[in-house]
Amino acid sequence: MAQAYVTETGSDTGDGRRGSRFGRVFGGWRRGGRAGMWRRGLVVAALAVALALVMLLHAQIPNTVGNLGSLSETFLPWFGVLVPLLLVAALARRSVSALLALVLPVAVWLNLFGGLVVDRTGTGGDLTVATHNVNADNPDPSGTARDVAAAGADLVALEELTATALPVYEKALAGTYRYHVVQGTVGLWSKYPLSGTEPVDIKLGWTRALRTSVGSPAGRVAVYVAHLPSVRVKVDAGFTASQRDESADALGEAIAREPLERVVLLGDLNGTMNDRALNGVTAQMRSTQGAAGDGFGFSWPASFPMARIDQIMVRGITPVRSWTLPRTPSDHLPLAATLKL
């Protein structure tokens, strides 16, 4: 009796079907032999290494040409967006070398910013503060004041106050904040007594910063409110930030001379914690968002926040929680933080 032989093919079994699909998807990787998988995508691999070096060595990018270093540091977290794009290119090129090279920028980005993507908020605290660049052209100052006050802050700093809008802010906040001081275009509203208020010279020729002392129940705190000059990106001049940089140095010198141990800085610094131009300030103070926030806390532009140029910073104080407040008619988002004195 003749024996019947049956040959099983990949299409006859579930495992075979899976194997067939696997082969169709990844079979192209073996074109040109094993050496081909390594030779393909070398340009993508080089771009991945370059991206890692830019992020790792950002402090070495010179500012001599168009303040390129400060510009790159302002948007440094967004360099991570290039990783998925390079990943797609590596997969399209079926390149093992490009995939391995992508490990470098991923590792560098996580080293720089990985701590910001986890929740670091705590509980408790003695003092809640808020800051908001209200925008000189704000069409609803009264509503903006109420929105910021709704956060329940003990201290509220406002920047870009105008002579026309100031009485509106004062009236809207009077019921919640018994004390307030205004110097030039910046002001501070407080539930606790203020003393020793004076303007801070940040080399502008007009007043955009102040210093005052807050008599909180947990002890006296020096509070600075500042609005550093704006920066611009111009085709012919690059990142124009020299005036901002000079003001940042002057503000840092004023804070360094502060006799009180506990210091809070609130305001629009027109720069991020990564920007070397703010070293005069950032070297002696810590960001509440970096210590006790949840995410990056970007504050500008309000329509699609891309950078945290508004800051709440402290010295001699422990941040407990830091967050952004809902959008107002301003082009900046308000910020708030709870502090342990």
pLDDT tens for residues 38-49?
A: 778 899 999 999
Q: What pLDDT digit, counting tens, does each position of 61-80 carry?
A: 998 877 889 999 999 999 99
Give the pLDDT band (50/70/90) at residue 10. Answer: very low
Q: What pLDDT digit, counting tens, does each position of 102-152 carry?
A: 999 999 999 999 999 999 999 999 999 999 999 999 999 999 999 999 999
- Report, as an integer, the average pLDDT of 181-198: 98
82-92 and 103-113 helices, crossing angle to 10°: 160
**Under 8 Å between Cβ of 272 and 55:** no
The whole-number pLDDT of residue 64 equals 82
The whole-number pLDDT of residue 239 equals 62
The closest of 212, 211, 207 to 228, measured between CA atoms, is 207
Give the pLDDT band (50/70/90) at residue 176. Answer: very high
- Report, as an integer, the average pLDDT of 18-40: 57
Q: What pLDDT digit, counting tens, does each position of 226-238 carry?
A: 999 988 765 554 5
Give the pLDDT band (50/70/90) at residue 293. Answer: very high
User: In terms of pLDDT, which residue wins out, 43 or 12?
Assistant: 43
Give the pLDDT band (50/70/90) at residue 7. Answer: very low
The closest of 275, 287, 285 to 316, measured between CA atoms, is 285
SS3 208: coil
Cis omega before residue 334 (within 30°)?
Answer: no
SS3 130: strand
This prediction's pTM:
0.87
The whole-number pLDDT of residue 148 equals 97
CATH 3.90.550.10 matches 127-340: no
The whole-number pLDDT of residue 20 equals 53
Query: Is the pLDDT at 6 greater than 90, yes or no?
Result: no
Q: What is the mean pLDDT of the chain?
A: 90
Total Cβ atoms within 10 A of residue 56: 16
Q: Domain extents for the chain?
A: 10-117, 127-340
Q: What is the DSSP string of 230-280?
A: P-EEETTTEEE-HHHHHHHHHHHHHHHT--SS-EEEEEE-SS-TT-GGGHH
User: Which of 12-16, 53-57, 265-269 is least confident?
Assistant: 12-16
Adjacency order of strands within the sheet including 286-287: 194-199, 209-216, 219-227, 263-268, 310-315, 286-287
**Under 8 Å between Cβ of 188 and 222:** no
Instruction: Say which DSSP state 294 is in.
Output: B
Dist. CA 52–CA 111, nearest whole Å: 11
Q: CA neighbours within 13 Å on the CB side: how many for 136?
A: 7
User: Which of 9-23, 225-239, 256-270, 299-313 is least confident?
Assistant: 9-23
- Report, as an integer, the average pLDDT of 182-196: 98
Dist. CA 120–CA 282, nearest whole Å: 20
